[in-house]
Amino acid sequence: MSVFTEDKIDCHCHVFDPLRFPYVDDTHYRPAQQEVGTPAQLIRAMNAYGVRHALLVGPTSGYRTDNRCLLDALERYQGRFRGIAVVDNDIGRHGLRALRERGVRGVAFNPAMEGVELVMSAASLFGALADLGMVAQIQVAGEQMTVLGPWLARQPATLVVDHCGRPADTDDLAQPGFQALLRLADSGRTAVKLSGWQKFAQQPHPYEDAWPFAHALLRAFGPEHCVWGSDWPFLRAPERVDYGPLLTLFEHIVPDAAARRQIQWDTPLRLFGFTAQPTTADVARVGRRS
């Protein structure tokens, strides 16, 4: 077995289809050319690399709270995707429940782009997410977790932190923001995405200066509270990024097959409510036994 033949769920992807779903007028950033990735294009990449499911994250860029493209993908590819939506803080339980019924399993907050105040004014939304069994996904950068970490620890919702917390200085594991993230492991209800290396590494692929942070997160949270994501289609990447080399890199960072199985399959099944469908290989094995 290798990472290419193992069961996998990609827990951080975006879809952009501006021809069918135009971007909102006041977006911070308008993905274009090779950054555009339709659901059909993502499915082709998943099939090529044996990725059975993916978590689609509503992007702040392009769409923000316009979730039509995301919801269309969830409907068109029943079972392959689950979603994380971007919503206004005052959406309420009825709006969240309607999203959940369509395959959305949480809400994304992006203080890295929009600041910490918007998150810290959403206490009632965090409560509603907890009540509905949905997650709060947080993307911080630099030292933002020093402010947000203690506040997040008091919220009832299950937390999922993007991209290793995007540490500010890859020469310093002791930096306050990263240490604040590690302390969230004590809650037992925080998970971390081992992803987004290109967003915080100072070195080019294979981003070796990011590896110590991944290893520290694995030690603190354990594979039961870590997931993997590609970040496809790689917005604002400083250099070319490809799906296959990212999988090879993950196999190098996590060489133990049992730990990879937990991170890339068991943990996301539990966190995001995927329903595992039998593969062709599964069906063939059953047929040989009968």
**Coil, helix or strand at residue 165:** helix
Instruction: Please report whether residue 232 resides in a domain.
Output: yes
Instruction: Please report whether residue 38 resides in a domain.
Output: yes
**Coil, helix or strand at residue 136:** strand
Is cis: bond before 245, omega within 30 of 0?
no
Instruction: Please report whether residue 80 resides in a domain.
Output: yes
Strand 9-13 relative to strand 53-57: parallel, antiparallel, unpaired? parallel
Per-residue pLDDT reduced to its tens digit, 227-254? 999 999 999 999 999 999 999 999 999 9
Residue 232 β-bridge partners: 13
- Give the pLDDT confidence score for residue 286 in this predicted structure: 34
Q: What share of the chain is helix, strand, coil (3-state, %, to 5)?
A: 45, 15, 40
Count CA atoms within 13 Å of residue 94 on its CB side: 0
Query: Long-range contact list for 154-157, CB < 8 A, 24+ apart?
Result: 155/123, 155/126, 155/127, 155/130, 156/126, 156/127, 156/130, 157/126, 157/127, 157/129, 157/130
- Give the pLDDT confidence score for residue 278 in this predicted structure: 53
Confidence of residue 61 (pLDDT cuts 50, 70, 90): very high
Map tokens 């999203």 to a residue: 99
- Give the pLDDT confidence score for residue 289 in this predicted structure: 42
- Give the pLDDT confidence score for residue 103 in this predicted structure: 97
Per-residue pLDDT reduced to its tens digit, 43-55? 999 999 999 999 9
Instruction: Please report whether residue 234 resides in a domain.
Output: yes
Task: Provide the token pair at 111.
Answer: 């203080």
Mean pLDDT of 197-204: 95
Answer yes or no: is pLDDT of 185 > 90: yes
Per-residue pLDDT reduced to its tens digit, 116-158? 999 999 999 999 999 999 999 999 999 999 999 999 999 999 9
Q: What are phi and psi of 119, to 5 degrees?
A: -70, -45
Q: Which residues, at least 6 apart from 225, have a Cβ–Cβ distance to it below 8 Å?
A: 185, 188, 190, 191, 192, 267
Which range marks the domain in which residue 269 is found? 9-289
Total domain count for the chain?
1
Mean pLDDT of 264-284: 76
**Cα–Cα dist 104/272, whole Å:** 9
The strand order across the sheet containing 190-194 reads 9-13, 53-57, 81-85, 104-109, 135-138, 158-161, 190-194, 226-228
Answer yes or no: is pLDDT of 285 > 50: no
Mean pLDDT of 208-218: 98
Instruction: Please report whether residue 81 resides in a domain.
Output: yes
Mean pLDDT of 166-189: 96
Answer yes or no: is pLDDT of 287 > 70: no
Instruction: Please report whether residue 1 resides in a domain.
Output: no
Answer yes or no: is pLDDT of 255 > 70: yes
Instruction: Please report whether residue 3 resides in a domain.
Output: no
Map tokens 């907050």 to a residue: 109
Burial of 41 (0-12, 13-18, 19+ CB in 10 A): middle
Q: What is the CATH number of the domain that holds 186?
A: 3.20.20.140
Per-residue pLDDT reduced to its tens digit, 71-104? 999 999 989 999 999 999 999 999 999 999 999 9
Per-residue pLDDT reduced to its tens digit, 99-116? 999 999 999 999 999 999
H/E segment holding residue 157: none
Stated pTM of the model: 0.94
